[in-house]
Amino acid sequence: MKPITITDVAQHAKVSKSTVSQYLNKRYDYMGESTKLRIEDSINELGYQPNYVARSLKQKSTKTIGVIVANILHNFSTEVSRAIEDACHVDDFHLIVCNADDDPHKEKKYIDMLRAKQVDGIIIFPTGGNIDLYEKMLREEYPVVFVDRSVPGLPVSSIMLKNEKAASMAVQHFITRGYRRIAIMTTTLTRSVTPRIERIEGYKDTLTRYKLPVRDDYINSVPRSDIQMQLDRMLQLDDPPEAILAGNDLTLIEILKYTKQHDIKIPDEIAIIGIDDVSFASFYTPAITTISQPTFEMGKKAAELLLYKIRQQKAEDQHPDYRFEPTLIERDSV
C-alpha cells in the first residue's frame, strides 16, 4: 500500500498542509477546536504515522537524548534515569539509556553509537576513562552534562551529592550513639570515582574533628566481589569495628548478606548505616538507617540543564557543579 502522507491528511481534513504540520508540532495558538478534532480524526481514520526521520532532518533535531549510566545496578542510577525521563517527557524528548558497567571502552562505544544516531545531547555518569572523547565533544560544542561524578579539568557541569557531608552525617550519628570504632567500606576506587573518594574524605575529616583515630585497616575500597572477604578480615581484627558505613547501595547489600550468613545481630554486634536509601531499607529487619540522595531532584536538574544546552545549541559551560543536600533517615540499625 502507498504510505499515507501529510498531504492525504490535509485533503481528508479539508485543511492546508501547514495546518496539519502545526498540529503535529503542537502549535495550536491560532487553531480552532473543530480544526484540531478534524485533523485528529483524519490521522486516526487514515492511519497516518509521522516520519520522524524526515522531521528530524528538517528540524535538525531528533528530540532524543542519550543517558549513559556507570552501573545500572545502582539504585541511584535507576531513580535518576527515571527522573530524567519524566522531565524530558514534558518537553517531548525521548531517552536512550545505556549501561557502561564502569567500563571506559563500553562507555566510548555508547557515546559513538548515540552520536551516530544523532541524539541531541548526552547525560553521562562518567567512568573518567575517556578524557579525549569528552574534550572532543566540548570542542564540537556538543551538549553534555555529567551526573554523580566530575572529571577534573573539564568545564562540564556535574550534578552531585554533597558527598563529604553525607559521610560526615553518618559518622556523627554513630558517634552520638556511643560508637568509637567506626569503619567505612566502598567499592573500588579505580579511576578515582568522585563520590567514593569524597565520602572517604568526609569520613576521615569527621573522625579527626572528634579526635578519633583514622585507621587504615578500617578503610576498605574493593571490588564488589571482594567485599564479604574483606569484611571477614576486618571483623577478625583484635579490635574489630563496632560500626560500618556502607559507601553505596551495592556495598550495603554485600554487608547485609555477610551478616545474614554469619548470624551477626544488627545493631547489637555491628551497627550499620548505608549511603543511598535503597527500597528495602525500611522493611529489612532491622530497618536500615541510611543517608538518602534527592535522586528525583538531581535527575530533573540534569535534564533541565541538558535541554537548556540543546536549545542554546552550544556546549560551552558557564554553569558550576550542582551539589544536593543529603538527608539522614534514622531507623533501627544503629
Q: What CATH number does residue 174 fall under?
A: 3.40.50.2300
* Residue, of 1 and 199, whose pLDDT is higher: 199
Taking 80 as the threshold, does the pLDDT of residue 151 lie above it? Answer: yes
Taking 70 as the threshold, does the pLDDT of residue 55 lie above it? Answer: no
Q: Tens digits of per-residue pLDDT, 216-265?
A: 999 999 999 999 999 999 999 999 999 999 999 999 999 999 999 999 99
Does some domain include residue 333? no
Does some domain include residue 57? no
Same domain flag for 206 and 257: yes
- Residue 287 near residue 333, CB atoms below 8 Å: yes
pLDDT at 319: 65
Taking 60 as the threshold, does the pLDDT of residue 315 lie above it? Answer: no
Does some domain include residue 111? yes
Taking 90 as the threshold, does the pLDDT of residue 51 lie above it? Answer: no
Residue tagged 576521615 (cell numbers): 204
In this prediction the pTM is 0.83
248/273 Cα distance (integer angstroms): 10
Does some domain include residue 330? no
- Residue 302 near residue 258, CB atoms below 8 Å: no
pLDDT at 60: 67
- Residue 125 near residue 68, CB atoms below 8 Å: yes
pLDDT at 204: 98
Q: Kind and range of the H or E element at 115?
A: helix 104-116
**How confident is the model over 269-281, as a mean pLDDT?**
95
Cell numbers standing for residue 75: 539504585
Same domain flag for 275 and 230: yes
What is the pLDDT confidence band of residue 126, given thresholds at 50, 70 and 90? very high
* Owning domain of residue 307: 62-161+296-324
- Residue 295 near residue 83, CB atoms below 8 Å: yes
* Residue, of 25 and 162, whose pLDDT is higher: 162
Cell numbers standing for residue 2: 502507498
Same domain flag for 90 and 146: yes
pLDDT at 21: 85
HEC readout, 244-295: EEECCHHHHHHHHHHHHHCCCCCCCCCEEEEECCCCCCCCCCCCCEEEECCH
What is the pLDDT confidence band of residue 4, given thresholds at 50, 70 and 90? confident
pLDDT at 152: 86
Taking 90 as the threshold, does the pLDDT of residue 1 lie above it? Answer: no
- Residue 290 near residue 255, CB atoms below 8 Å: no
What is the pLDDT confidence band of residue 314, given thresholds at 50, 70 and 90? low
The domain tally of the chain equals 3
- Residue 315 near residue 142, CB atoms below 8 Å: yes
Same domain flag for 172 and 269: yes
